[in-house]
Amino acid sequence: MVKVYTIASGKGGTGKTTVTANLGPMLAQFGKKTCILDADVGMANLGLILGLENLPVTLHEVLAGKARVRDAIYDGPFGVKVVPCGLSLQGFQQSNPDRLKDIMTDLVSEFDILLLDAPAGISRDGVIPLTIADGVILIVNPEISSIVDSLKTKILTETIGGHIEGAIINRVTNMENDFNTAQMEKLLGVRILGVIPEDPNVRRASAGRTPIVVKYPTSSASRAFKRLSADVAGIEYTEDEAKPSKESFVDRLARALFRTKT
């Protein structure tokens, strides 16, 4: 059965779109038919991060009733499918967010997992993705303003009958000092699905319009995204598989010699 998750945050700048752009490809690599949709109709950035821009048909045209959603599906990394949103203000003005539910109905039969990148904050356009998802995943930074705004989003989601699946703590700088996951769960009142460390390679990958899991697959953030994606996909994934090899020089030399003899 298809699962629809809305990726949401109480404020901008938490890395919500970056999480979506990396979670989607990894879910596809794990064998899940995955589609990510940029539901941030006014401030769309998902297509930029994935190198999908200046496209003939986007979600703007679909929400305006000018095109079918199947015409706005594009190929992304690792086989993930992407429905990007346009960048023009004119396209935004012509869009009708109320059509989003019908669009999701058209997509659910084709995929295992749908990820919606929702607008940040509390607005009419932001409420719709919260109501049509099976679960809402909050993206939270470990700072007071982000935590407070996430709590507001959590309360709003529950008030309108939505379900909070959990939270992802993004851009954590004190991973080495045993980041207190239990304390964050207590503060937010939701399960922590994953913790993504601060990683300079995230910005480098975004500048290259490529997800970090593609451009820097062994970086600390990429390994965290792999663990998170495996959990969402329901796949057993050990930490050793996510880490780069720590094989010593002596081990490499012995392996090379063995290959030579055989």
Extract the runs of DSSP E, i.e. beta strands, from 153-227: 164-172, 192-197
**Is the predicted pLDDT of residue 242 greater than 70, yes or no?**
no
**Is the predicted pLDDT of residue 250 greater than 90, yes or no?**
no
Structure tokens at 9: 């945050």
pLDDT (tens digit per residue) in 177-192? 557 899 999 999 999 9
**Is the predicted pLDDT of residue 258 greater than 80, yes or no?**
no
DSSP run (H or E) holding 26: helix 16-29
Phi then psi for 175, rounded to 5 degrees? -60, -35
Max Cα separation, the chain? 69
Q: Which CATH superfamily is domain 3-261 in?
A: P-loop containing nucleotide triphosphate hydrolases (3.40.50.300)
Domain ranges of the chain: 3-261
Structure tokens at 117: 């990148």
**Is the predicted pLDDT of residue 256 greater than 80, yes or no?**
no
Structure tokens at 53: 């821009």
Distance CA 131, CA 6 (A): 9
% of the chain exceeding 70 in pLDDT: 89
Distance CA 116, CA 98 (A): 15
Count the helices and strands in the chain (H runs, E runs). Answer: 13, 8
pLDDT (tens digit per residue) in 76-126? 999 999 999 987 777 777 889 889 999 988 898 899 999 999 998 877 778
